[in-house]
Amino acid sequence: MKTVKTILGVLVFALMLTIVSCKDAKKDDATIKTEQAEKKEYASAYVCPMHCEGSGSDKEGECPKCGMAYVKNEDHNKDGHKH
């Protein structure tokens, strides 16, 4: 009976430790940079037709990665919403 209580206590402790450690998990820098690059690529007024990583601009121009001319992003919302 003592062995069962010990095993049960260890399992409860491990569960509590797992819950607390997962609660404070944060995104790593690589994930954050990737999300920011995708946002710029798809949320800019002008985007690269090849969807190069980190491309996109609020002005017409060329993609710095592939050299293609930017195209107007029809889904772009300057003030954050559509009317």
Residue spans of alpha helices (H) in 1-83: 2-23, 29-43
Task: Please state whether beta strands 46-47 and 71-72 pair in parallel, antiparallel, or not at all (unpaired).
Answer: antiparallel
Q: If pLDDT is split at 50, 70 and 90, which confidence band does 83 have?
A: very low
Q: Residue 31: its pLDDT value, please?
A: 67
Q: What is the pTM of this model?
A: 0.47
CA nearest neighbour of 69 among 52, 81, 53, 23: 52
| Spatial distance between the Cα atoms of 6 and 1, rounded to a whole number of angstroms | 9
Distance CA 16, CA 45 (A): 47
Q: How confident is the model at residue 6 (pLDDT cuts 50, 70, 90)?
A: very high
Q: How many CB atoms lie within 10 A of CB 6?
A: 10
